[in-house]
């Protein structure tokens, strides 16, 4: 039986936010180890300039990154067991949050041109 896509029924804002947090968790300027194995604390969140922001080597449209500054999106990820919010300073991604397949990477992470 195929694995259900989006088994926690995250809404589009939550999916985009988690996708960006997962990418930020890969970069030392934004990530540090959590207290438990497999957890990562994401902090030093990027801010938009103009209509985009940078996430590692990627450009992200500012409209796709609105969840990074949305406490409700962080709390929803926390309720689903994917994160522990320390809004607005940092968010801890659990092992489940880091491995959750959002299906949004190609849609919102664009190759950088500068």
Mean pLDDT of the region 96-110: 97
Res 113: pLDDT: 54
Burial of 70 from C-beta contacts in 10 A (0-12 / 13-18 / 19+): middle
The reply to whether omega before 52 is within 30° of 0 (cis) is: no
Cβ neighbors of 10 (< 8 A, separation 6 or more) are: 18, 76, 77, 80, 102
Q: How many CA atoms lie within 13 A of 5 on its CB side?
A: 6
Residue 112 has pLDDT above 90, yes or no: no
Res 2: pLDDT: 62
Mean pLDDT of the region 37-41: 97
Residue 10 has pLDDT above 60, yes or no: yes
Cβ neighbors of 31 (< 8 A, separation 6 or more) are: 24, 25, 40, 41, 42
Residues 34 and 42 sit within 8 Å (Cβ to Cβ): no
Residue 1 has pLDDT above 70, yes or no: no
Confidence (pTM): 0.94
More confident residue, 109 or 111: 109
- With respect to CATH, is domain 12-103 assigned 1.10.287? no
The Cα–Cα gap between 37 and 35 comes to 7
């Amino acid at each position: 039986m195929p694995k259900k896509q989006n088994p926690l029924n995250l809404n589009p804002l939550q999916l985009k936010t988690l996708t960006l947090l997962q990418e930020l968790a890969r970069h030392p300027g934004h990530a540090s180890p959590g207290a438990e194995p497999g957890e990562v604390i994401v902090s030093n969140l990027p801010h938009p300039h103009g209509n985009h922001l940078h996430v590692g080597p990627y450009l992200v449209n500012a409209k796709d990154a609105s969840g990074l500054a949305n406490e409700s999106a962080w709390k929803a990820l926390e309720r689903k067991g994917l994160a522990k919010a320390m809004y607005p300073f940092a968010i801890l991604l659990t092992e489940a949050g880091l491995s959750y397949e959002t299906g949004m990477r190609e849609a919102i992470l664009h190759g950088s041109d500068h």
